[in-house]
Structure 1
Amino acid sequence: MKEKIAIIHALFDEIGGGEKLALSAIDALVNGGYDVKVYTGTKVDQEKIKNILGYSLKNDDIIHIKSKLSIFLANITGNKAVRLRRLMIYRKLFNKEFLNKLRDNYDLIIDTQSNLPTPTDITYIHFPATIGTTNKRNFIEKLYDDIVSLASKGLTKTRPGRTLTNSKWTANKIYKEFGIIADILYPPVDLDYFSKVSYGSHNNKKIITISRFSPEKGLDKIVDIAKQLKEFDFYIVGATTPVLSDKVINTIKNKIKNENVKNVFLMPDLPRNELLKIMEESKIYLHPPFAEHFGISIVEAMASGLVPVVYKDGGGWYDIVSNIDKNLGYKEINEAANSIKYAYEKYDSLKQLSINISKKFSREEFKLNILKMVNYALEIKQLEMR
């Protein structure tokens, strides 16, 4: 009889790095012989997932948990208040009665999205939910942070069996916030798919940015960088979230129009086969000025034969790009322009180094590691039953 695993991922209304990791974990566990069910509070757009990731879930394996408060928050905020909406779903799942039911019905419970040390067997923290996503916090944002911290208290009384995270940088944040030393499980990157174009033409002055169209990413700053490098064309590609992304896209479009910028192009929800074509023609990948917890798109670009230029903070810098060349990081807009020029001039030598470093973040490596961790957790839990 197959051992049963519950994966809890509260929100699937946007498809970003966290969703890629959860779906890859599910895929690895199913192929590893486990019976996996997914608990979520939102609809799962199978077609969108397949277009972006190349595979999707089975509808029979998805269990929807409705939280009226989470739905209410989504309606009144236009899908904002993501951290709080997640917590409302997790609070429903982790009340004593429901949690006991999960424990009775499953051999292992894995939390892939609360970003808190929840009472599960394994929890994956992408970034502590109790820390704001930017340093510049106004009164409303600080109040929101306080509400999130208050809502999280009931979920963290019992620590998880094991805590995983995406980078050493995030592990440092988790230790400071929760006093937990987390193990690193780097997110999986589909190197096989993106490496198809690693030795393609790459002969155009195209620069690509791949990011969710979310406010915290600072994508409008790409326009400022593009103004200094008019000889390059900048393509901003990424997944969207209903309502929330519309405002971000309109802000960028207005900035492009008002400042008469001719070399920035927006491409929301671009199918991955079309994304690959642009990557094949590009030399440089530019990440926006946001401290990325890991940065799957950075590694995808590296595997595709692009040289990355990233913000000099976060896991994307400390765990990945700083290992290629320290000149590929920036703090200010002027530094970004200089780093891009440097990457373009040194492209041939930096390209091969980028490809080599990307290989440590493969799907195969992720699958081996997560299966090893899950097998060990089950062995410890079931030792006295044998």
Structure 2
Amino acid sequence: MKKAAFYDPYLDTGGGGERYVLTFARALIKNGWKVDFQWKDKKTLPWLEERLGMDLSGINIVDNVSRGAGYDLIFWISDGSIPLLLAKKNILHFQTPFKDVGGKSIFNKLKLLRVNNIICNSQYTKSFIDKEFAVNSTVLYPPVSLSKNTTKVEKEKIIIYVGRYSRLQQAKGQEILIEVFKDMCKKGLKNWRLVLIGGSSVGAGDIVPNLKKTAQGYPIDVLENLPYKEVIKFYEKASLYWSASGYGIDEQSEPARVEHFGITVVEAMTHGAVPVIVKKGGHEEIVANGQDGLIWENTEELITKTQELIIDERRLKQIANKAREKAKKFSEEEFEKNLFRYIK
């Protein structure tokens, strides 16, 4: 039996990046591999199962994978540093567009000689990684579990955003969405609700109570740490998906603070929630503006484009259908089919 080792320094955040690495691991397990994850707390695995709605049976939590020594394969998520990997096949994965981390040092160049494949989660991330480390990485887009619900759920007047509450890295922009929605309500928007959902287990600080305070008196829900099955219910009911992640951030000076890809955008699309998202980071790799979603550059555009869809229900449904179709490009099946070219 072949053995694979995995290292993800962010495993306890339970975000889209963790779905990525765990889907990779599950694909190997289905093909007869033994899979070990280096992590300090075995309780994290059942928590991730509920958080992400994934079956993680077959994954072993171990204290140390020894950077791949004794393994056929190691999949290592970089925190900006380059490890000396020791498996028979070594895959280095970047989910963050690191900049100014000394990527071209002689030590990094030597350690990169041991790496068989460098994989990024988007063309956006790749553009910075290739420049920083003087490499030619490849892109394997994150996977999303397509909707398997055959029962049609009636869409409601709900706008949703899903993204963690955290000050550690990306500027998710929940406060911007609240202010825009409040402004729309003041100008006559009726019977619509804004629902914000996210994890608050790492780096949230006082974000959630501050958002709830700002939202008081308006039809706005600020929800935290929902099991994935509950998040799905909101995706199914939502008509629109907003994102202001990275709004107001200079991508060239702070590339890590915008959306590196945007997996929750795709999750929304698979359930027919039309994305109306900011022109930042990896968003344009997901949405073709005006076809399977809308892209905005300032909050005035966000309001205008949202109002257009609210008024034109026929167009809203057309774009929703195209969004569902586009989401198939990022399915788990496509992901698994593509990943095996890296491990043959």
Same fold (TM over 0.5): yes
Cα shift readout 1:203-243 (whole Å, capped 9, x = no counterpart): x211000101112312111111111222321000112215x
Equivalence for 1:305: 272
Q: Which residue of 2 aligns with 1:336?
A: 302
* SS at 2:343 equivalent: helix
1:239 equivalenced with 2:199 (yes/no): yes
1:48 offset after TM fit, Å?
Answer: 2.5
Q: Distance in 2 between matches of 1:187 and 1:221?
A: 26
Match of 1:108 in 2: 73
Q: Distance in 1 between matches of 2:211 and 2:261?
A: 24
Q: 1:51-66, aligned counterparts within 5 Å?
A: 51-58=50-57, 61-65=60-64
Deviation at 1:156, TM superposition (A): 2.7
Which residue of 2 is the match for residue 289 of structure 1?
A: 245
1:6–1:324: structure 2 CA closer, same or farther, 3 Å change rule? farther
Tell me what 1:14 maps to. Answer: 13
- Match of residue 138 from structure 2: 183
Deviations along 1:111-169, one digit per CA (max 9) or x if unpaired, are: 124355544411111113446xxxxxxxxxxxxxxxxx379969734212211111112
Q: Deviations over 1:287-324 (max 9, x none)?
A: 233231111111110000110011101112x2111355
Unpaired segments of 5 or more residues in structure 2?
247-257
Letter in 1 for 2:154: S
Residue of structure 1 aligned with 2:288, choices 315, 322, 336: 322
Distance 1:218 1:197, change over 3 A: farther
- 2:208 is paired with a residue whose SS is helix
Query: Which position in structure 2 is the counterpart of 1:143?
Result: none
- Kindly report which structure 2 residues correspond to 1:339-350, keeping only aligned pairs within 5 A, or say none: 339-344=305-310, 345=312, 346-350=315-319
How far off is 1:277 after superposition? 2.3
1:180-259 alignment runs, 5 A limit: 180-191=135-146, 194-196=147-149, 199-202=152-155, 204-215=156-167, 216-230=171-185, 231=190, 232-242=192-202, 244-257=203-216
CA RMSD, aligned part only? 2.6
Q: 2:93 aligns with which of 107, 110, 124?
A: 124
Task: Assess if the C-alpha contact under 8 Å between 1:195 and 1:305 holds in 2.
Answer: no
- 5+ residue gaps, structure 1, are 66-92, 132-148, 376-386
Q: CA deviation at 1:327?
A: 7.3
Write the letter of the residue equivalent to 2:174.
L
Kindly indicate whether the alpha-carbon contact (under 8 Å) linking 2:98 and 2:132 is maintained by their aligned counterparts in 1: no
Aligned length: 315
CA separation of 1:208/1:187 partners in 2, compared to 1, >3 Å: closer, same or farther?
A: same
**1:207 partner letter:** I
**Partners in 2 of 1:115 and 1:32 — Cα distance?**
31
Q: SS of the residue aligned with 1:234?
A: strand
Greater alpha carbon shift after TM alignment, 280-289 vs 352-361: 280-289
TM-score w.r.t. length of structure 2 = 0.83
Q: 1:373 to 1:323 in 2, by over 3 A?
A: farther
1:280 aligns with 2:228: no
2:287 match: secondary structure:
helix
In 1, Cα distance between equivalents of 2:54 and 2:245: 30
Structure 1 position 40, deviation (Å): 2.5
Q: Name 2:251's counterpart in structure 1.
A: none
How far did residue 15 of structure 1 move?
A: 0.6
